[in-house]
Amino acid sequence: MPDPFTRAKYARRVEVLAPRSLDEALLLKAERPEALPIEGGTDVMVELNFDRRRPDALLNLNEVPELKGWSRENGHLRLAAGLTYTQAMRDLGSALPALAEASRSVGSPQIRNRGTIGGNLATASPAGDALPPLAIEDAEIECVSQRGSRHVPLLDLVTGVKRNALADDELIAAVWVNPEADDEHTVYSNNEAATLAALTAGRDGAPTVADVLDAGAPQNPFFNP
């Protein structure tokens, strides 16, 4: 068994930044662009525990009220980045049934209580449960910084496996969807292989998300005729 004192010699100090508002979070992100955002921590903590990533600083977003909950605005749904899978299951079953169904398939209750939609998008993992149901909704991602805000289509935000189009000083504030624009034939398929194929954008000729969504049934894993 490894000597804990020997292991301690290799430990690195990680600074934790704890903003209490979105403005403060954006200020800290501008000053410390290398700071890794964390809220639910269901992806980040795995990488830390397995030494896949060792950031100099973590930007703890748990105390930022502007990143909580969801709302209806001008016919659209705005899902704040800190919306958890449990909240999506509980509140969005009627408005976004595909997202609610996908949320039910996420890990254990503890993971569903902690994991967030924004974190899932920023991680851009092929295993991201929220990505396919939001892709079929033509979701737009609200990216914010001290420079302002912009809306980025989900298909443009995910640039590859665990790669996204966020600038170094940007955070995901929310996801915007228009449920009224849904195609009546869209359904969600919880198919990890299909998700992997859809999100391996640009990898050795693999299809992009747009390629998969444009392919049509039956090749398209997110649609049924």
- On whether residue 61 sits in a domain, the answer given is yes
* Tokens found for residue 75: 């016919």
- On whether residue 167 sits in a domain, the answer given is yes
Q: Distance between CA atoms of 156 and 37, rounded to whole angstroms?
A: 20
Give the three-state DSSP class for 156: helix
Q: Distance between CA atoms of 210 and 207, rounded to whole angstroms?
A: 8
Q: Where are the beta strands (DSSP E) in the chain?
A: 15-17, 36-38, 57-60, 70-73, 76-80, 140-145, 148-153, 158-160, 163-164, 171-177
- On whether residue 101 sits in a domain, the answer given is yes
- On whether residue 98 sits in a domain, the answer given is yes
- On whether residue 196 sits in a domain, the answer given is no
- Number of structural domains, the chain? 1
Report the predicted TM-score, pTM, of the whole model to 2 decimal places. 0.76
Residue 37 burial (CB count, 10 A): 22
Residue 164 burial (CB count, 10 A): 18
**Cβ neighbours for 58, distance < 8 A, ≥ 6 positions apart:** 14, 15, 16, 17, 35, 36, 37, 38, 44
Per-residue model confidence as pLDDT tens for the chain (225 residues): 555 545 555 567 889 999 999 999 999 999 999 999 999 877 778 777 777 788 889 999 999 999 999 999 988 999 999 999 999 999 999 999 999 999 988 888 888 998 899 999 999 887 788 999 999 899 999 999 999 999 999 999 999 888 999 999 999 999 999 987 654 434 444 444 444 444 443 444 544 444 544 444 333 333 333
Q: CATH number for the domain including 33?
A: 3.30.465.10
Q: Taking a C-beta distance cutoff of 8 angstroms, is the pair 171, 141 a contact?
A: no
Domain range for 91 is 12-182
Residue 147 burial (CB count, 10 A): 11
- On whether residue 207 sits in a domain, the answer given is no
- On whether residue 201 sits in a domain, the answer given is no
- On whether residue 23 sits in a domain, the answer given is yes
Q: Taking a C-beta distance cutoff of 8 angstroms, is the pair 186, 222 a contact?
A: yes
